[in-house]
Amino acid sequence: MTSFDRDTLDKLPITRDILNLMTQIAEHRGKQMLYARQIPRLLDTLRHHAVIQSTESSNRLEGITISARRLESIMKEKSPPNDRSEAEIAGYRDVLRTIHDSHSYMLVRSNTIQQLHRDMMVYVDTSRGGKWKSVDNVIEGTLPSGDRWIRFVPTPPWQTPDAMENLCREFDIARDLGKLPDVILIAIFILDFLCIHPFPDGNGRMARLLTLLLLYQGGYTVGRYISLEKIVEDTKEQYYDTLFRSSQGWHDGKQDVLPWVEYFLTVILRAYRRFEERVADVDPTQKRGYKQRRVREVIQGFVADFRIADVEERCPGVSRATVTKMLSDLSKNGLIECVERGRNAKWVKVLPK
């Protein structure tokens, strides 16, 4: 069973909330692409911190923790892991770097997923790394009393290889058809992966690594600079709740994927917003007066007439009010001239006499 059944996808309602999330993600995604061209050194700093935070948060969600000093040492590969927790951290670190460096060349196939799991477990258990589960596993929750309860019973071991092959194949078909945005298909893929729960250990961490891989391949690269894993950790109650709600009825094809899809999109949108906040916090060019100087520099670079939208496109993070004020000031000083007024006003630089 997968959620990529034709009837399931064809009947999936694109709610107003989902449409709003998609619109906002698209806007922030465009800004990030501009930042990548304008401030590459800053992005190197964000990327370094994101790798560390992603490794720490994804493992901490599974109860795997080590000291800050040892985390730094393991991440910089200054020393080999000393115990199982450090081995789990080192494996996640390696796979995360592989995805960052080689995502463009990685096909989403069951054997690729097995290889990534093998690499993640290489310091822990080479006998089980990369191998599908051989015994039944269940997804449990913990009640306030401390008692455990079964949240979901995944696909049985004997069906797991075929289930994973089918999931990857159906995902490719759905992506090629293009009826739904890639980011929604990715959310559904991760939901199904977690419902199959194909490995004896490390399924949650693998799901988060696969999320990054698929988002990168779909052009959503914010996870390179902002830790999606940290956002999931910060919202783990919502993570587990929506996953539980969307997994109910999955074996019978009666699941409602919308709660999980909306949560998934919310995580991505939060990452883009956090990215812009970090840029403003860290970038020294965001100091007082920079935005006005940036608008002036952009206008000076135009060789033909331009509109306000042209300036805004080249000045992510600068409000329209700031752009409008700068146009007014430059016009008063005789440096630019408005040649077409109204809603689509055009401006030109005034050439020196």
Distance, in Å, from the CA atom of 344 to the CA atom of 325, rounded to the nearest integer, reads: 16
8 Å CB contact between 81 and 90: yes
- What CATH architecture is 6-282? Orthogonal Bundle (1.10)
Distance, in Å, from the CA atom of 70 to the CA atom of 134, rounded to the nearest integer, reads: 34
R_g of the chain computed on alpha carbons: 24
Domain boundaries, the chain: 6-282, 289-349
Q: Which CATH number fits domain 289-349: 1.25.40.10, 1.10.1270.20, 3.30.70.270, 1.10.10.10?
A: 1.10.10.10
Looking at residue 283, its pLDDT comes to 56
8 Å CB contact between 151 and 195: no
Encoded tokens for 60:
């901490």
Alpha helices (H) in 154-257, listed in sequence order: 160-177, 182-196, 203-217, 228-234, 236-247
Distance, in Å, from the CA atom of 136 to the CA atom of 153, rounded to the nearest integer, reads: 8
8 Å CB contact between 86 and 78: no
Distance, in Å, from the CA atom of 9 to the CA atom of 179, rounded to the nearest integer, reads: 9
Distance, in Å, from the CA atom of 150 to the CA atom of 299, rounded to the nearest integer, reads: 61
Looking at residue 282, its pLDDT comes to 54
Q: Per residue of the chain (353 residues), give pLDDT as tens.
A: 678 877 778 788 888 999 999 999 998 888 887 776 666 677 787 888 889 889 999 999 999 988 888 988 999 888 899 999 999 999 999 999 999 999 999 999 999 999 999 999 999 987 889 999 999 988 877 767 777 878 888 999 999 999 999 999 999 999 998 889 999 999 999 999 999 999 999 999 999 999 999 999 999 999 999 999 999 999 999 999 999 999 999 998 889 999 999 999 999 999 998 888 777 665 555 555 677 888 888 888 887 888 888 887 777 667 788 888 888 888 888 888 888 887 778 889 887 65
